[in-house]
């Protein structure tokens, strides 16, 4: 039983090291930026993050919509 546990821990440790080679052994010390804003091809196509789309949608609401939303919250 102890032998199986040690083998399992060794396999898990090897997997973590293999998955983190780029993070652990490069000068940048960080995960690669896989967010929408970090992809130049998506930016060229005009695809943006949902946070920016939401911020733009809230900014372009009418005054009536903003007041109505505030009244529903209270």
19 Cβ contact partners less than 8 Å away, ≥ 6 residues apart: none
Q: Are 52 and 35 in contact (CB under 8 A)?
A: no
Which of residues 41 and 74 earns the better pLDDT score?
Answer: 41
29 pLDDT more than 70: no
Q: Are 35 and 49 in contact (CB under 8 A)?
A: yes
Which of residues 45 and 4 earns the better pLDDT score?
Answer: 4
Q: Are 1 and 9 in contact (CB under 8 A)?
A: no
Which of residues 9 and 63 earns the better pLDDT score?
Answer: 9
Percent of the chain with pLDDT over 90: 20
């Amino acid at each position: 039983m102890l032998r199986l546990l040690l083998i399992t821990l060794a396999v898990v440790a090897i997997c973590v090291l293999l998955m983190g080679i780029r993070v652990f052994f490069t000068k940048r010390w960080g995960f690669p930026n896989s967010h929408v804003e970090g992809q130049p091809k998506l930016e060229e196509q005009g695809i943006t993050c949902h946070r920016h789309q939401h911020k733009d949608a809230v900014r372009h609401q009418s005054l009536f919509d903003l007041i109505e939303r505030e009244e529903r919250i209270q």
